[in-house]
Amino acid sequence: MDVATASGVTKSVASRVLNNDPTLNVRPETHQRVWDTAAKLGYRPHAGARALAGAEARALALLIPDLTNPVYSRIIRGAYRQARRHGYVVLLAEDTTDDQAGKSFTELVETGRVDGLLIASARPHHPLIGSLARVPHVFVNREVPGSGRNVGMDLAAASATAVRHLHQLGHHVIGMVSGPVDLEPARARYAGFVDQMRALGLDPGLVERGEFSEAGGADAAARLLRAHPGITALYTSTLSQAVGAMHAVRTAGRRMPEDLSIIAYDDLPLADYLAPPLTTIGMPLQALGAAAVDAVLDQLAGRPTADRTIDTQPVVIERASTMPHAGMDGA
């Protein structure tokens, strides 16, 4: 039996009561009877009705730039588990360049289907940013200056850790495959590389940029090896770039790690299955996802917003793609 029949009202009246239609004119006892009947029948109002009633949807939405990128699976997992601990679910959406994702995201909140947004897209000047004033939201692993809603890691520390590891192996001519200059995460990793190279008295200028992709890594590494054939070690900004860079190294007729050591930002299971298995820098991506959920829940609770940088302790996961430089004592 439906709510309308059990309450003795029309379906139109029942629907308008349950959706809190302010223009509906019915007696208070009728209004209460509909809600009491709905409760007895286990009826759950749709998200729009909850929003009109001022209730929470108990759902968050996470916008990521690429559903095929396995890096984001770690962030998603951390966000999902933390949200579940607090009784929320996480909905996923992929960013697009046609602005439809931004419109859909704001509509999710305005219609009460989600309570807050977690934005992991690194696209600069994202059109979504200007429409978020009334929406609880955080930026994950990216930075919008002055927003007070950035949740990130010390990306520069990861690059510094990679450089120090290669230097400890006796490498002094170290190149970098960096990311697009218009992406803040790429700039942060590049800055960490340059600062650490300078601190060690090494040349920080052996850098080529490419997209955060296999093709981008292959192209940048090929240009780097042609311009600086004396490079003995290479650091890439992402694991996907490393996959392409390794192809470029082999194409150039150089062996890994005998002729060139390679280390990448991002640690994923794929690294174990490359040839040779790839040395990587592990970062706390699950903790990042969890921290982003905590930040948006704090906003929902009315607490002040503030940028957050989670405790970042980059870890070298050493595999077979790096080795001591041939000129190192004892090598």
Q: What is the pLDDT of residues 225-272, one digit of tens each?
A: 999 999 999 999 999 999 999 999 999 999 999 999 999 999 999 999
Peptide bond into 257 cis (omega under 30): yes
Residue 61, beta-bridge partner list: 91, 117
Q: What is the pLDDT of residues 93-113, one digit of tens each?
A: 887 666 665 566 667 666 667
Cβ–Cβ < 8 Å for 93, 62: yes
Domains (ranges, CATH) in the chain? 3-44 (1.10.260.40), 59-153+285-300 (3.40.50.2300), 155-282 (3.40.50.2300)
In total, the chain counts a number of residues equal to 331
Residue 309, beta-bridge partner list: 152
Question: How wide is the angle at C-alpha 86 spanned by C-alphas 84 and 87, nearest 5°?
Answer: 65
Confidence class of residue 215 from pLDDT cuts 50, 70 and 90?
A: very high
User: What is the Cα–Cα distance from 44 to 209, expressed in whole angstroms?
Assistant: 52
Q: What is the average pLDDT score of the chain?
A: 87
User: What is the Cα–Cα distance from 265 to 235, expressed in whole angstroms?
Assistant: 8
In this structure, what are the phi and psi dihedrals at residue 44, rounded to the nearest 5 degrees? -120, 115
Among 18, 22, 64, which Cα is nearest to 43's? 18
Does this model's pTM top 0.75? My answer is yes
